[in-house]
Structure 1
Amino acid sequence: MAAGSSLLLHAVLAIIISSGIISSATPQPSLAVTVTLTRSDQAPTDAQHLASHNQLALPGALAESLAEQRASATLALMNQAPIEPVGANDLAAKVQELHSDLNKVQQNQAQNTRLGSVAARRALDASYLRQWVNRVEMVGNAALSDIGNARGDVRLLVIVDQFGILLDVTVLESSGFPHLDKAAIRTVRDAAPYPSFPPELRAQVDKLEIVRTWQFRP
C-alpha cells in the first residue's frame, strides 16, 4: 500500500464494561458499533459518531417521563370514588391493595432510574470510543503497509485501564492469515497508550474491554 494512502474505519466494536474483576457471572451492558477497514485514496472526511443510536434514552427525557408517571399516579388516587363505610376486613383489604399499587409505582420509578444510569454511561462509553478509534486511525496506515492483497477479518479483545494503558490484546477469531492477525495486533499496540478515561467514566469503571473486528479489504 502506498505511503500516502489512508484508512476508512467502519469496524465492529463492542464494549463490555468491567469494574474490578474482568470475568463476571452477570452479563454486562454492551455497546456495539460497526467498523470496516478498506484502502482509500482520500482521507476520511469525518469520524463516525459511534454508538449514538444505541443510547437507551436521554437523561432529560427520562426525568420528564418519571415526573409524568408520578403525576399520573397521584391523579389516579385523587380521582378514585369516595370510600363508603366498610367493615374492618374490607378496610384491611383496601389498605393492602393500596400498598400493592404504591409498590408497583415505586418499582417502575426505580427501573426508570436504572435505565437513566445505563443511558448516561453508554453516552460516556461512546465518547471515549471516538477518542479510542481516532487514536487507532493515526497508526492504522503503518499496519496496512505490508498486508498485500490479503482479505480477512480479525476479531480482537482489547483491555484498557482508566489511565489508557493497554493491559492485554487477544485474538478471539483469526483471519486465517497470520500476517493479518499480526497487523491488527500491531496497530493496537502501536496506538497505546490511549487517552485516559474522563472523570465521569473513571468514577464508574476502572477498565474497558473492547471487542473489535478488523475487516481487511484490499
Structure 2
Amino acid sequence: MFIALAIHGLIILGIVFAPTDQSAASSQRLEVTLSHHQSDKAPKDADFIAEHNQIGSGTLEEEKQLLRNATAILEDTQIKPAEAIVVPQEAQAPLTEIPPNARLVTTSGDSWFTMRLDQPEDELPTEESKEPQEFTMEMLSQEIASLEAKLHEHQQTLAKGPRVLRLTSVSSMAAADAQYIHRWRDRIESIGNLHYPEEARRSKTYGDVRLMVSLNANGTVEEIRVLESSGKDVLDNAAIESIRLASPFEPFPTSLAEQYDRIEVIRTWQFRKDRITSSR
C-alpha cells in the first residue's frame, strides 16, 4: 500500500504546468484595413494587411487603423453590386414633331407682322399686300376738301375772337397811339403815388412788380396779371390797386380802335423812395 502511494506521488510531482505565452498568441492575429489610395512602392514594415500597397502618412506618431469618419446609413458584411436605375417610359417628355412643311423664318430689326411656322403658303403675305396704297383722284379730292373745311373753320374761330395787340414797347407805335399809352401810364403813376401804401413807407420796403394789363377799346380793364412778383405782397397789391383806382381810362383812339379790340400792356412798376414809377 505504501509503495502504491509513493508511486502515485512521484507521478504527480513529475508533471509541470507551463504558463501560456500571451505574446505568441497575439502575434498570430491578422490586422486588416482598407487602403484609400495605392502606392507604387511597398512599405518595408507593414502595419496592416490591405488589398494593395499604401505608404502611411499623417501627423500621428503611432500607427492607427484606417476607419470611416462617419456612421454608415446601411450596415452589411457583404459587398453587393449596385443595381441600375431604370427611368419609366411615361416619365420621358415626348419631343414635339415639326410639320414637314414647316419653314424657318428669321428677321433683323423691327417687324410689323408675325408668322406661324405651320401657316400655309397661300396665307402668307405677298409683296403686293405690303406696298403702300396709292391715292386715287377721288381720294385726293376728298382730302383737299377736308383740309379746306378745317381751314375755313379755323378762320371763323379767329374771326369770332377779339383782335388783340400786345405791347412791351411804344417805340414802334404811331404817334397818336403812343400818346395814348403815355397818358394811361401817367394816370396810373399819379393815382398810385396818392395811394402809396403806408406800410411800405414805414418799413421802407422797395421792389419791382411786372404786370400785364389788358384794356378794352372803351378804356375798361379786362384783366390784370402778375408776371413777376416783387416777393412782397404789400407792393404787389399796391400796384394792382393803383390800376383799378385809375380805371376806366380813355377809349382807344380811332387809329387803334379800327385795328384792335383789345391791347395788352406789359410794364414794370417800381417802388422807390415813397414813389411809384413804371418802365418798359
TM-score by length of 1: 0.46
Structure with greater helix share of residues? 1
Higher relative contact order (CA 8 A, sep 6+): 1
Q: Which has the higher strand share?
A: 1
Structure having the higher Rg: 2
